[in-house]
Structure 1
């Protein structure tokens, strides 16, 4: 394994030309930035065929680690993954890791940067000190934090989108990309605003990116625009209220007066399409500003109730769910702990059939998903563990029908929907990974239908449909002809047409609209959204 200085001296200045040529051929690459070679094994195992992959290590690691990485590279090559040249070792010194990683990103010019969890999970609790005990090597977290900071700076320098994924420490690749991610990508990231124009929101290294239709149902878009706001961790939750306003939720790391860092939930509201959103506000943290406990909080999920109240849910350090409500007057309740079952970091919140919110969570220790809802007495949270939802990790999502949830069945990988008062219904589609996004109320040959989109093999965008409220009729899936580096999204535009959105390997938004009057569900050719101001 060569050091960075040796690599550059061997190749000289033409090394930049080599990277540029690779970018032109690959339209963006992947940089896996980790502490030592052994840390790259699981992130590399998740890579599919497509853009080339560079591995950057802060330290050279042990001979066994280097040998294991060599085997992993060979296995990746066998399934079509191109790992570029030999791994880099940047020999980062304390206080210089961010600068060294930034140098590597400037050379490699990646679209996607993968690193480890910046806030690794604790292994136990020191009862005497009441503090979590983290056994992960400190270098892993410090390199991940440095990588997030370097990617943020790099994106602001180059002006092009850069996306960061944080692989949860110790999570095996067999769980799939979404279940291994510390900060999930949104599923409902394409939404129609109050004025009928569509907007797309995705988290990037430097903050939230937004694309907006210039006119209702038109092919011209503005963006991507980098929304002003705090330095967010690389994830996003997108929720729309009854008035059609868009609410964005994320996590940020803040500094206490004593210099210690903690993490809190933040959110902002988009009132008018294409206009600046409102200021970002803190929703706090179940553990306050405790520097050790707060950093492990799970990514938030949110939903509105019939009275306009906002409910925020987050997995706490004890692997329970904590929730609080913001009333229509803007006042927050205290955090409430929903007891009953330990959960994984996979929450889905939605409005139930009564208009009250509910939250689904994948159980931590069993292949099941559990639902909490507000029942009787009014306002009290009730655990419903009677459902037969057995999801593949990373596949849980809310369905458009109130109180319904979609997931991949752990026994077959088929897409299923669970509706209130009914058993699970299979929607087929056992190929691919991850969750399904959907939108109801699409007109197809005079029928109101639900259009679904999901990721197939190698990131293929697959589309299907069924009659609204009647999934038992079955779904015919078809390949939409494009691949996406994020889960595809779907919405209904201001003209009533289904619109599918994805992000290509070149970092550009792609849009396909439903063909009006077609005999069945058909889409026009994909439109590549060119960067505009």
Structure 2
């Protein structure tokens, strides 16, 4: 492996094999994953966590030292043993020949990635300098520069070629052995398929250039339109999708705006989808729990849920590694950010409504494999009013697996010790195991599916190698167990599910070519059966 490859793409040039498969023609493309890092050593854990058979391109801002390069060579050799493919030596950029973002963009035009994996653009702090009033960050500055340049290049590339580019930023300080689903700075949504008021389905996912939407046609034969890039601010590549009591879909994320004097402002924002397939509503700024931009940039990703009274509750992990919450009334009136001073938490929270209409939150703790439960007490019901913390819950989630369950008032996760899928609800003495210890990431589902006349809960998760696995159990009886069955091909996002206008369970994924896959339940069949996967 040559240390300085000298490989350079001319700006805007695209090889003939990429041109012939350009998405504007409607043809599928299966592009590589571009790993963009500061030095060769930073690429090692990203290469190791790529699935078998991936096509990988490596981009380094700097050639690094000899020991780093030897580690990279070893990682590449091991990846090739697993069937991964590399088209050539790594791209090593030259800071003296122009913009780093421009050079990365050149590489993207040459290689045509569907996915981009990079580092943490705003790594969290390890302390606070009270005298200077600044966070203390131990991450080398070049890592943040690599990530921010990769994000900018990916946005420009996606807008130039007109196809989605999915970006994963690996959170700083995470265990190198963790898969991407368990170590992402900006998580993909577990719920991203929503039924509109007219019964048609819409799928929303975050990409480098913003949120893209696929929309179901008015007839099944019409298929789906999209992916359509929705206009909005520069968003970080994560998304939370919730549906309000009004039936509208609310898209929640983090915007990043460069400051004239340097640095960037990070704000929580949301937009509402009122009618299926119609333009998205305006993006509304919810601000940040912190006023100093140096402090504000380290917040976690927002999650949200609606209470029965119509208030939207939005939560983020704050600078102190506690939880901050903001409420918006049904008329759009915002409260201030309230800090919940309890146990320190990691960047992973699941929020859900309870049967009595309240809002609950389960967060993975920062230290260890535990979790903490927050709920809003009500003096009228005999509990203390305000937000209450419960640290004694039997939930031990694996990173990247927490999600609100389809049953009201419950949460799903993978047990840290075994990776088995579990379900728990406040007040339960222990979680219930549902099997499925293979794969990674959260579990999606629907309640009330018709299976031979029985009401059942249908679940879908990422299985071995990222292939979706489907299971079911009678409604309200998770203790009966779940028989999981793999279906389809590897998905680069967590699978999602919802009911269509005919009451059929619909499962959607995104294949390695970045295109939507859809399977529908076959009602009246012998058991739980789905149509063949259809590429949209």
With 72-81 and 409-418 compared, the bigger mean Cα shift is at 72-81
- The unaligned stretches of length 5 or more in structure 1 are none
**Within 1, Cα distance between the matches of 2:509 and 2:166?**
14
Aligned to 2:347: 345
8 Å contact kept, 2:461–2:470: yes
Deviations 1:400-445 (A, max 9, x none): 1222111111121111111343221110111111111111111111
1:488 corresponds, among 486, 495, 512, to: 495
The residue that corresponds to 2:7 in the other structure is: 7
Give, in whole Å, the separation in 1 of the partners of 2:273 and 2:177: 37
Task: Look up the match of 1:301.
Answer: 303
CA drift at 1:483: 1.7
- Mapped pair 1:16 → 2:15: yes
TM-score normalised by length of structure 1: 0.94
Cα shift readout 1:147-191 (whole Å, capped 9, x = no counterpart): 101100000000111111101123223232122111000110011
- Alignment of 1:432 with 2:439, yes or no, is yes
- Paired positions, count: 526
Aligned to 1:262: 265
1:156-175 correspondence runs (5 A):
156-175=159-178
- Structure 1 residue 39 displacement after superposition: 0.8
Question: The residue matched to 1:293 in structure 2 has which SS?
Answer: helix
Q: Is the contact made by 2:39 and 2:63 (CA closer than 8 Å) also made in structure 1?
A: yes
Which whole-Å CA distance do the structure 2 matches of 1:370 and 1:520 have between them?
A: 38
Task: Tell me what 1:360 maps to.
Answer: 362
Q: Which of 461, 468, 473 is the aligned partner of 1:461?
A: 468
**Contact 1:92/1:100 (8 A) holds in 2:** no
- Which residue does 2:386 correspond to in 1? 380
State which of 19, 36, 40 in structure 2 corresponds to 1:37: 40
Assess if the C-alpha contact under 8 Å between 2:8 and 2:107 holds in 1: no
String of CA shifts for 1:93-121, please: whole Å, max 9, x gaps.
49711111111111010000111011112
Partner of 1:471: 478
Offset, 1:318: 1.1
**Shift, 1:5, TM fit:** 6.8
Whole-Å separation in 2 of the counterparts to 1:95 and 1:404? 52
1:418 aligns with 2:417: no
Deviation at 1:128, TM superposition (A): 1.2
Q: Secondary structure at the match of 1:332?
A: coil
Q: How far apart, in 2, do the equivalents of 1:217 and 1:306 lie?
A: 34
RMSD: 2.2
Match of 1:450 in 2: 457
- Structure 1 contact 406–416 (Cα < 8 Å) conserved: yes
Provide closer, same or farther for how the CA distance between residues 8 and 2 of structure 1 changes in structure 2, counting only shifts above 3 A: farther
Alpha-carbon distance in structure 2 between the residues aligned to 1:85 and 1:486: 27
In the alignment, the residues of structure 2 paired with residue 154 and residue 4 of structure 1 have an alpha-carbon distance, to the nearest angstrom, of 25
Partner of 2:411: 405
Whether 2:71 is the aligned partner of 1:68: answer yes
Is 1:499 paired with 2:506? yes
Structure 1 residue 474: deviation in Å?
A: 0.8
Q: Deviations over 1:362-393 (max 9, x none)?
A: 00102112110001436500111221011111
Q: CA–CA distance in 1 between the matches of 2:60 and 2:52?
A: 22
Distance 1:234 1:115 in 2: 11
1:198 touches 1:216 (CA, 8 Å); kept in 2?
A: no
Find the partner of 1:518 among 510, 520, 525: 525
* Structure-2 change in CA distance of 1:31 and 1:257 (3 Å): closer
Q: Tell me, yes or no, if the aligned pair for 1:175 and 1:394 is still in contact at 8 Å.
A: no
Q: 1:337 to 1:217 in 2, by over 3 A?
A: farther
Of 261-270 and 251-260, deviating more is 251-260
Whole-angstrom distance in 2 between the partners of 1:503 and 1:61: 35
Specify every segment of 5 or more residues in structure 2 that has no aligned partner in the other structure, as ranges.
none
Match of 1:316 among 315, 318, 334: 318
Cα separation, 2, equivalents of 1:330 and 1:246: 15
Q: Does 1:220 align with 2:223?
A: yes
Contact preservation (8 Å) 1:214, 1:221: yes
Instruction: Give distance in 2, aligned partners of 1:4 and 1:281.
Output: 46
Question: Hey, what's the Cα distance between the residues in 2 that align with 1:6 and 1:255?
Answer: 32
CA distance in 1, matches of 2:317, 2:221: 40
CA-CA distance at 1:216 after TM superposition: 5.5
- TM-score, normalised to structure 2, is 0.94
* CA distances 1:446-498 after superposition (whole Å, capped 9, x unpaired): 11111100111111111001111110111111111222111111111111000
Distance 1:8-1:314 versus aligned 2 partners, 3 A rule:
closer
Counterpart of 2:210 in structure 1 is: 207
Counterpart pick for 2:235 among 222, 232, 236 = 232
Offset of residue 219 of structure 1 = 5.4
Aligned to 1:56: 59
C-alpha distance in 1 between matches for 2:531 and 2:164: 26
Deviates more, 1:252-261 or 1:462-471: 252-261
Corresponding residue SS for 2:47? helix
- Alignment partner of 1:454: what SS? strand
SS across alignment from 1:325: strand
**For 2:191, what is the secondary structure of its paired residue?**
coil
Separation in structure 1 between the aligned mates of residue 208 and residue 404 of structure 2, nearest angstrom = 26
1:229, distance to aligned residue in structure 2 (A): 0.6
Distance 1:47 1:309 in 2: 41
